[in-house]
């Protein structure tokens, strides 16, 4: 199988330990010297760069949070001066005020190197035509995939989001083989294709580079079988560069390059390291950053790491599917509920269509959860008895899998909102 940078990707664990420690020390030196904010944080915790002698010493360093990045001015946070910054991006602001991120020339190069390795590991190369249906602009999705696809010699169609008829036209006219999009948009593109009488399974489109929002294995199965598009899970965030890591051809977790980042998992309540194989909050350190420091940065995403060597031969750890964010977890009558759990459970019912919506309200003192579920056109009948039986089955499956009751409303195909970028499937009205 093709490898973009075999020296690093196939390096032994022992050699990666040595390389990672060297890069970590350099990073901490750089941040202590140049980022007044991070220096202050280290001083508060009583840690000096010289205290980092082994990889385990990482846990001595202070955490950074989204709030730190939003509250502080670039002059206090950045490690590089204005002259060396060659680009700015911003996060999409899913959980609050967007964060502004700066990049040096080397930051842009490391970013595309990371994603070029990933795309090659997913089986892509110079013969591919990649339609980038992520937003171009301040959001990192568009330009991130654009640079990496060009780097591996693929042809890029910079379509950005929207104009779905045209997107389909271009897939057909150019023989596009890969589409980069959010999973929600991929589903929408497939639905529009069906309406236009286009069978995507017979088209040249073979791979979807899908990420930017939580999605489930069941949703992947659906995209793969309904549209004939292999769904490769992709991960990144603007603070970390942008989309930087994907699954390899084995589709069993996202390879995290050890010379580029350290992914730790902690207990979100105590901040302590989680036991191996245990789910918890993701904490990221970006080893090669020059402009914007990311050191023990609390992402808020809930996931688990697999340190075992992958069947593809790469020894780098893999991040398993993200079940949600600490801050999009709903607490319904004291029970933790992630929207992705609801999605997974709904998709175990063959009658269920592609979209759903969760509406949470408060009736008196009690939380009230309503799940609106689209049915496939063939499942929506006039027979009230049949519909009631289906609703009851879905309601009881949800109750079993979430451990909390929810009302279910069945609605026709196409009646819930569709999304060009990140989906917004939860409406929490308890604070209104
Ligand atoms: P924002 O935090 O404003 O959404 P970004 O646009 O940079 O900023 O999005 C990064 C976030 O998107 C991640 O922290 C994560 O929550 C989510 N995300 C990205 N890729 C995935 C993925 N493959 N699975 C689940 N969540 C993802
Ligand atoms: Zn692999």
Across the chain, mean pLDDT equals 94
Which of 134-143, 188-197, 281-290, 335-344 is predicted with the least confidence, judged by mean pLDDT? 335-344
The yes-or-no verdict on residue 431 having pLDDT over 80 is no
Instruction: Give the ligand at the shortest distance from the Cα of 216.
Output: 1
For atom 4 of ligand 1, the residue with the nearest CA is 94
- Ligand closest to Cα of 140 equals 1
Kind and range of the H or E run holding 375: strand 366-375
Q: What pLDDT, in 10s, does the model give residues 165-176?
A: 999 999 999 999
What would the mean pLDDT of 312-334 be, rounded to a whole number? Answer: 89
CA of 146 to the centre of ligand 2 (A): 23
CATH class of 330-428: alpha beta
pLDDT-derived band at 204, boundaries 50, 70, 90: very high
pLDDT tens string 89-101: 988 776 677 888 9
Ligand 1 and 209: CB distance under 6 A: no
% of the chain exceeding 90 in pLDDT: 82
Q: What is the pLDDT of residue 72?
A: 65
* Per-residue model confidence (pLDDT) at position 188: 92
- In angstroms, what is the span from residue 248 Cα to ligand 2's centroid? 5
Alpha-carbon span 420 to 362, nearest angstrom: 30
The superfamily CATH assigns to domain 1-326 is: ANL, N-terminal domain (3.40.50.12780)
Helix (H, G, I), strand (E, B) or coil at 361: strand
pLDDT at 327: 75
In eight-state DSSP terms, residue 64 is B
Asked if pLDDT for residue 104 goes beyond 70, the answer is: yes
Confidence of residue 432 (pLDDT cuts 50, 70, 90): low
In whole angstroms, give the CA distance from residue 53 to residue 158: 45
Pocket test for ligand 1, best of 322, 341, 344, 426 (most atoms within 8 A of CB): 322
Confidence of residue 134 (pLDDT cuts 50, 70, 90): very high
Greater pLDDT, 336 or 150: 150
Res. 1: pLDDT tops 80: no
Q: Please answer whether residues 114 and 260 qualify as being in contact, where contact means their C-beta atoms are separated by less than 8 angstroms.
A: yes
Domain positions in the chain: 1-326, 330-428
Ligand 2 centroid from CA 317, angstroms = 9
Percent of the chain surpassing pLDDT 70? 99
Could you tell me the distance, in angstroms and rounded to a whole number, from the CA of residue 359 to the centre of ligand 2?
Answer: 38
Q: Is 237 in the pocket of ligand 1 (CB under 6 A)?
A: yes
* C-alpha span between 138 and 379 (Å, rounded): 41
Burial class from Cβ neighbours inside 10 Å (0-12, 13-18, 19+) for residue 19 reads middle
How far apart CA 168 and CA 203 sit, in angstroms, is 10
Instruction: Find, among 57, 49, 10, the residue nearest to 26 by Cα.
Output: 49
Summarize pLDDT for 63-89 with one digit per residue, the tens: 998 888 877 678 889 999 999 999 999
**Is there a common fold for 1-326 and 330-428?**
no
Predicted pLDDT of residue 97: 76
Report whether 258 contacts 19 (CB < 8 A): yes
Checking phi first, is residue 209 left (phi over 0); if not, alpha (psi -120 to 50) or beta? beta
Task: Tell me the two tokens of residue 72.
Answer: 């502080």
Q: Which ligand is nearest to the CA of 309?
A: 2
So what's the pLDDT on residue 305? 98
Q: How far is CA 396 from CA 345, 348, 350, 366, 427, in A?
A: 11, 13, 15, 20, 22
- The pLDDT tens digits for 288-313 are 999 999 999 999 999 999 999 999 99
Q: Where are the beta strands (DSSP E) in 198-327?
A: 207-211, 230-236, 243-246, 254-255, 261-266, 280-286, 297-303, 305-306, 318-319, 324-325
- Least confident among 162-171, 260-269, 318-327: 318-327
| CA 1 – ligand 1 centroid, Å | 29
User: Do 311 and 255 touch, CB atoms closer than 8 A?
Assistant: no
Q: Is the pLDDT of residue 10 over 70?
A: yes
* Cβ–Cβ < 8 Å for 358, 330: yes
In our burial notation (b when 16+ CB lie closer than 10 A, e otherwise), range 277-290 reads eeebbbbbbbbbbb
pLDDT tops 90 at residue 258:
yes
Ligand 1 pocket residue status of 262, Cβ below 6 Å: no
Over residues 274-290, mean pLDDT:
96
Task: Name the one residue in this structure whose structure tokens are 């609106």.
Answer: 372
- Residues 269-275 have a mean pLDDT of 93
Confidence of residue 328 (pLDDT cuts 50, 70, 90): confident
């Amino acid at each position: 199988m093709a490898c973009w940078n075999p020296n690093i990707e196939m390096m032994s664990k022992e050699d990666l330990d040595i390389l990672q420690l060297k890069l970590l020390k350099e990073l901490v030196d750089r941040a202590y010297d140049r980022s007044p904010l991070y220096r202050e944080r280290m001083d508060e915790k009583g840690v000096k760069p010289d205290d980092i002698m082994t990889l385990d010493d990482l846990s001595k360093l202070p955490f950074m949070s989204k709030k730190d990045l939003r509250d502080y001015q670039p002059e206090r946070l950045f490690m590089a001066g204005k002259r060396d910054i060659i680009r700015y991006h911003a996060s999409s602001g899913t959980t609050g005020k967007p964060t502004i991120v700066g990049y040096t020339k080397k930051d842009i190069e490391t970013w595309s190197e990371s994603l070029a390795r990933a795309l090659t590991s997913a089986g892509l190369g110079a013969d591919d035509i990649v339609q980038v249906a992520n937003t171009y602009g301040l959001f990192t999705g568009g330009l991130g995939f654009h640079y990496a696809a060009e780097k591996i010699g693929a042809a890029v169609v910079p379509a950005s989001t929207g104009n779905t008829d045209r997107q389909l036209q271009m897939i057909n006219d150019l023989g596009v083989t890969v589409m980069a999009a959010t999973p929600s948009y991929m589903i929408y593109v497939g639905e529009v294709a069906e309406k236009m009488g286009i069978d995507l399974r017979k088209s040249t489109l073979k791979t979807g580079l899908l990420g930017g929002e939580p999605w489930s294995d069941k949703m992947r199965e659906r995209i793969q079988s309904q549209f004939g598009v292999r769904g490769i899970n992709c991960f990144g965030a603007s603070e970390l560069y942008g989309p930087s890591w994907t699954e390899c051809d084995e589709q069993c977790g996202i390879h995290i390059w050890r010379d580029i980042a350290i992914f730790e998992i902690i207990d979100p309540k105590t901040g302590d390291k989680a036991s191996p194989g245990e789910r918890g909050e993701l904490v990221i350190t970006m080893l090669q950053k020059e402009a914007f420091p990311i050191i023990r940065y609390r992402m808020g995403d809930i996931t688990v790491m697999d340190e075992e060597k992958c069947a593809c031969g790469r020894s780098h750890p893999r991040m398993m599917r993200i079940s949600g964010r600490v801050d999009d977890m709903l607490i319904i009558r004291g029970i933790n509920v992630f929207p992705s759990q609801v999605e997974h459970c709904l998709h175990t019912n063959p009658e269920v269509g592609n979209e759903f919506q969760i509406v949470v309200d408060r009736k008196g003192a009690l939380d009230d959860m309503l799940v609106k579920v689209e049915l496939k056109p063939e499942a929506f009948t006039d027979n009230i008895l049949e519909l009631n039986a289906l609703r009851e089955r879905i309601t009881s499956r949800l109750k079993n899998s979430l451990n909390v009751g929810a009302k279910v409303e069945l609605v026709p195909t196409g009646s819930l909102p569709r999304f060009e970028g990140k989906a917004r499937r939860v409406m929490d009205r308890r604070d209104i």
